[in-house]
């Protein structure tokens, strides 16, 4: 990070920095599933083809605590029996500053240039009760990061005892290290940062943030509650109805945005997973949004000749 970037980050107050810590290991997994594809379990056994030993794939909800692993049938046994752990990225403590530096607004852009005066005042007033800070404090951050903060903090309000340092993906990797199991990442933190914070224009990001704030009550009462309950029930079809096929989605993503977040990454991972599973039996823990649908890992692994079985 350059000295200029470091000086820029120092201007952010401590309260805002604490908010940013929450999103360090969170990858939004909200655009999920297609109907009539595998459902009913969060954990799946992968066997057949040329595998000497089975591997397992777990759909995680990134904000769930590590202890949630033991509430998923068969997950602990699958973890213990696997020779290596595979995640979206290899998680470590250095990623905070990387995320913060790449999520800063460019010097030549302000929220006054992205919003009309009326919309600026609206966003500013809405953010203060939600995040404890308005655009005066958060205006150095890109809209996509503020949007992520809004979503994540509202999710954590529905999860009593949430601990930003104890999340299931991180827990799985830490347990692997304790047991001297190798940990493999499917992509880099730089790629995830680009996908989340830099793949769309600042104007598009600002428009999504404004839309979300205008619909925050419905998002809180409908979408977030349904997201949590559907995941906990392993009801992947309900998640599909909420995030992909629903015609009344409040602030819909474009097909290109969904492809970048889900399909393109799945396709990249599927080029790596066969060799990874062939080398060692693997416990693969990735966001649940990557599992199901015609572009999902489960269906595509089936199409590639593997046997996919729900673990219940």
Task: State pTM to two decimals.
Answer: 0.84
Express each pLDDT in 132-182 by its tens digit. 899 989 999 999 989 988 888 888 888 877 887 889 999 999 999 999 999
Domain residue limits at 63:
3-310
Buried b (16+ CB within 10 A) or exposed e, 38-64: bbebbbbbbbeeebeebbbbbbbbbbb
State the total domains in the chain: 1
List phi, psi (to 5°) of 58.
Answer: -115, 130
Express each pLDDT in 262-312 by its tens digit. 889 999 999 999 999 999 999 999 998 888 778 889 999 999 999 999 998
What distance in Å separates the CA atoms of residue 57 and residue 291, rounded to the nearest whole number?
A: 8
């Amino acid at each position: 990070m350059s000295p200029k970037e470091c000086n820029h980050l120092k201007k952010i107050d401590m309260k805002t920095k604490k908010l940013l810590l929450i999103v360090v290991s969170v990858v939004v997994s909200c655009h999920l599933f297609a109907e009539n594809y595998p459902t009913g379990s969060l954990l799946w056994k992968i066997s057949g083809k040329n595998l000497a030993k089975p591997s397992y794939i777990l759909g995680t909800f990134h904000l769930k605590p590590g202890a949630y692993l033991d509430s998923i049938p068969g997950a602990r046994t699958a973890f213990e029996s696997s020779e290596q752990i595979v995640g979206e990225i290899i998680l470590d403590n250095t990623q905070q500053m990387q995320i913060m530096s790449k999520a800063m607004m460019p010097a030549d852009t302000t929220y006054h240039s992205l919003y009309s005066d009326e919309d600026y005042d609206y966003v500013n007033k809405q953010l203060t009760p939600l995040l404890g800070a308005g655009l005066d404090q958060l205006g150095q951050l890109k809209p996509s990061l503020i949007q992520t903060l809004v979503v994540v903090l509202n999710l954590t309000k529905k999860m009593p005892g949430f601990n930003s340092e104890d999340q299931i993906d991180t827990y799985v990797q830490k347990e692997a290290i304790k047991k001297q199991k190798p940990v493999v990442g499917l992509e880099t933190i730089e790629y995830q940062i680009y996908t989340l914070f830099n793949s769309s224009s600042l104007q598009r990001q600002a428009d999504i943030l404004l839309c979300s704030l205008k619909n925050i009550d419905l998002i809180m009462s409908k979408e977030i509650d349904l997201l949590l309950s559907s995941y906990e029930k392993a009801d992947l079809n309900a998640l599909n109805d909420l995030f992909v096929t629903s015609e009344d989605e409040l602030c819909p993503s474009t097909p290109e945005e969904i492809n970048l977040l889900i399909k393109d990454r799945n396709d990249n991972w599927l080029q790596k997973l066969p060799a990874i599973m062939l080398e060692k039996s693997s416990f693969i823990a990735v966001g649940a949004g990557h599992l199901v649908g015609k572009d999902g890992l489960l269906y595509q692994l089936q199409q590639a000749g593997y046997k996919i079985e729900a673990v219940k």
